[in-house]
Structure 1
Amino acid sequence: MALLTPLVISRRPSAAFASMGMLWGSFAAQVPVLKDRIGAGDALFGGLLAMSGAGLLVAILIAPMFDKRLGARSMQVSAVMLAVVYLSLGMAQSPVGFAVAIVLAAGASGLLDVLINARVSELEGRHRRSLMNVNHGMFSLAYAMGAFSTGLAREVGWPPVATFAVLGFLVLVLSTTMRLEPEVGIAGADRAPLPWLVVIPSGLILLIAFQSEASVEAWSALHIERTLGGRAVEGAFGPTMLGLTMAAGRFAGQAVGERIGNRALLTGALLVSSTGTVIAGLASTETVAYVGFGIVGLGISVLAPTTLAMVGVRVGPGPRAYVISRVAVIGFSAFFIGPAMMGLAAEFFGLRIAFVMIAGLLLLALLPLALLSRQDRVVPA
């Protein structure tokens, strides 16, 4: 019941979270075959992934106008857009084609991401209860299901476009449940002054969380298949394990955060996720790598939703959606930096060292967390 009630309250954005999770989980499991198909090395592939940041940035900038124009149907339309453009990823045959496809997919995904987080934050304010972790948990659970089913599809010879088409159809079905009228909307308070002492440190934590999460998601299957010699379904189990433990961590984080507080939860999560990244990167067997990715998932799971929840309670109900969208601008810049950094590290030092670098990055997030915690006594909750 502790999870059922929040899911019922936020069932419409929850369906959107699940839709996005299925598609990105499938993409993570397809990375080895997509990379081989376009003939890209690690550095080039990382650079191509970094181009997704352009799509995300455009999506964030147009989100207020999009939300204002479409209102209750904004989540539906952006989910359908995501399902359609994902087919272009499955059909890409060259680096240029992949670059165009990843920009489009990231743009649709970023637009949907901003909208659903804003809707959940509005529902939190209306019902006076935490909903972020359980919704992000639905993303992770669907991510794991998408990754594992894609691994099975690869084993029997399905091409990426066929898998994306099936999952896209499921997203179209789910989109019929996503209609939700905004209370204020992202553009509703865009002239209010931003609380920068909250926005900047929160955005930096989100940036590191997204960069670490995206790097592990995108390169885990390749690490298992190339570094450790695993098969397609074994490689897919890397992002599957990550998604499952992230779902478990987010569902548990709903209750744990209320008991120990957000600062303690984030501190522990950063330490746990950095430890797991080292274990996965230095693993000598697939089993050890799975354990490492599982630990990463448990730790990294609560970083983004807890940070967004902290932002939500520190601003009023009017500017909440707008402030969250501005924090997302900083956080989403990770998609410019992270994939390129991971690709270059993998190209010159190997994937093992690249994962260790991610561990160090996670520890750096303790600095903006300390700054944000100081504002707990300054910015009223």
Structure 2
Amino acid sequence: MTTTTLTLRQLHAWRNAIFVIFALSGVSIASWVARLPAVRDQLGIDTAQVGLLIFAMSAGSVIGLIAAPPIMARIGARAGMVIVLGLVSVGLVGIGLGTDTLVSPAVVAIGLAFFGFGNGAVDVMMNVEGAAAERAIGKTLMPLMHAFFSFGTVAGAGIGALASALSVPVIAHLAVMAVVVLVAVVVAIRFVPKGVEAAELDDTPKKPLRERLVESLGVWRDLRLLAIGLIMLGMAFAEGSANDWLAIAMVDGYDQSNTTGAIAFGVFTVSMTVGRVAGGPVLDRFGRVPVLRVSAALAVLGLLLFIFAPAPWLAFVGAAFWALGSSLGFPVGMSAAADTPDPQRSAARVSAVAIIGYTAFLVGPPVIGLLGHEFGILNGLLLVLVLVVLAGLASPAARERAPLEAAPSP
């Protein structure tokens, strides 16, 4: 089976299954982030120690990104996505156990490492699958796919805020979300076509392992790809810093309750979703480069408002602009990286820029945590602003290279 032999109904089912997988990743991440203030309070740790906990998740994410291409080569993205989202579920349960049952930062860190590995690996897999579906259908779909990630974060943040308001124990909340993720991926994966990856790879001339490894590493010599990676670095830092620190920044920086912090994160996720839903038509009309430049400007404005707002309500406005500006950087970077007809190179290129982007998640949490510990969490976010400016300057690297193929007739 190849993408050219799939009917339009099968293509849409494939697309919808990837939508669900993006949403599940978002649900899992928002579920953890929304309860982060409660985890901190229950463990009795400070901001710098929270940064070290998040470092465990970030390190797991980077390892997952590196492991994703060989996992896909071995068992395919279809089976791979089930396995790694299963690890996400294990990680969620581990975080809950370490928080409420064992009250152990070490156990929470182990849970976060599993959680990070699963989400890092599924990030590559779902973006490669999403890019393949996008090309087969012949429409710009990647922003909408990332919008489903944001739909998931909205749902996760809302459930998390409700759980916080009702004083639901972290273990009970995260265990339920773990079951939801596992059941949903088992159902959705049935609509991802089995034979497509194998057929596409069969169409690629076979090469010795050493030659394939050299080619895979060779993507790092592509200066345009590295510039795309810089876009990913800045925009992932902007998005990831909100995931990791926005709720705590609202609580500590503006002396608000944990529930208000979760609501502020919810405002961010809703605004992120709006930006991604609108992103496809906007990108088709204006192109990647102008959209990325405007996005960077919006993110800078939002960060300035959030950091320096004289009143909490203005910080909510800043969070909304911050989210709108950050919303398209990651999906546009993934589309630009995957913009090649060779499925083997596509996976390597997506993995490469994702690794660069996830460096923000690896280095950012402890750095912002340390800066926040010394100078206040709001001042620590000034680092994010600098990286967003650099991402805006690198935006020409994402210029469209190849047109999408036409979708088959029904």
TM over 0.5: yes
- Cα distance in 1 between the residues matched to 2:14 and 2:325: 26
The letter for the 2-side match of 1:80 is G
Aligned in 2, Cα 1:359/1:7: closer, same or farther, shift over 3 Å? farther
Q: Secondary structure at 1:183's aligned position in 2?
A: helix
Select between 68-77 and 320-329 the one with higher mean Cα deviation.
Answer: 68-77
**Of the candidates 86, 96, 115, which is equivalent to residue 90 of structure 1?**
96
Q: Secondary structure at 1:365's aligned position in 2?
A: helix
- 1:67 aligned to 2:67? no
Aligned in 2, Cα 1:304/1:349: closer, same or farther, shift over 3 Å? same
Matches within 5 A, 1:204-353: 204-314=230-340, 316-353=342-379
- Deviation track 1:236-274 (CA, whole Å, cap 9, x = no partner) reads 111111111111100101110111110001111011011
- 1:76 aligned to 2:76? no
- 2:142·2:331 contact (CA, 8 Å) conserved in 1? yes
- Deviation track 1:93-134 (CA, whole Å, cap 9, x = no partner) reads 233222222111100111111110110011122222211100
- Cα distance in 2 between the residues matched to 1:149 and 1:53: 24
TM-score, L = length of structure 2: 0.85
Aligned in 2, Cα 1:7/1:206: closer, same or farther, shift over 3 Å? farther
- Deviation of 1:64 after TM superposition, in Å, equals 2.2
- Cα distance in 2 between the residues matched to 1:6 and 1:186: 19
Aligned in 2, Cα 1:49/1:227: closer, same or farther, shift over 3 Å? same
- Deviation track 1:311-351 (CA, whole Å, cap 9, x = no partner) reads 22255455222211122122212122110121011111112
Aligned to 2:24: 19
The letter for the 2-side match of 1:97 is V
Aligned to 2:162: 152
- Deviation of 1:222 after TM superposition, in Å, equals 1.2
Computed over aligned residues only, the root mean square deviation of the Cα atoms, in angstroms, reads 2.4
- Cα distance in 1 between the residues matched to 2:298 and 2:11: 26
- 1:130·1:309 contact (CA, 8 Å) conserved in 2? no
Structure 2 residues not aligned, in runs of 5+: 1-9, 205-211, 404-410
- 1:13·1:119 contact (CA, 8 Å) conserved in 2? yes
- 1:7·1:135 contact (CA, 8 Å) conserved in 2? no
Query: Size of the alignment, in residue pairs?
Result: 374
The letter for the 2-side match of 1:83 is S
- Cα distance in 2 between the residues matched to 1:218 and 1:319: 32
Aligned to 2:387: 361
**Of the candidates 149, 152, 155, which is equivalent to residue 142 of structure 1?**
152
- Cα distance in 1 between the residues matched to 2:252 and 2:162: 18
% identical aligned pairs: 25
- Cα distance in 2 between the residues matched to 1:229 and 1:23: 27
- Cα distance in 2 between the residues matched to 1:235 and 1:308: 30
Aligned in 2, Cα 1:250/1:299: closer, same or farther, shift over 3 Å? same
The letter for the 1-side match of 2:135 is G
Structure 1 residues not aligned, in runs of 5+: none
- Deviation of 1:186 after TM superposition, in Å, equals 9.5
Q: Secondary structure at 2:338's aligned position in 1?
A: helix
Larger Rg: 2
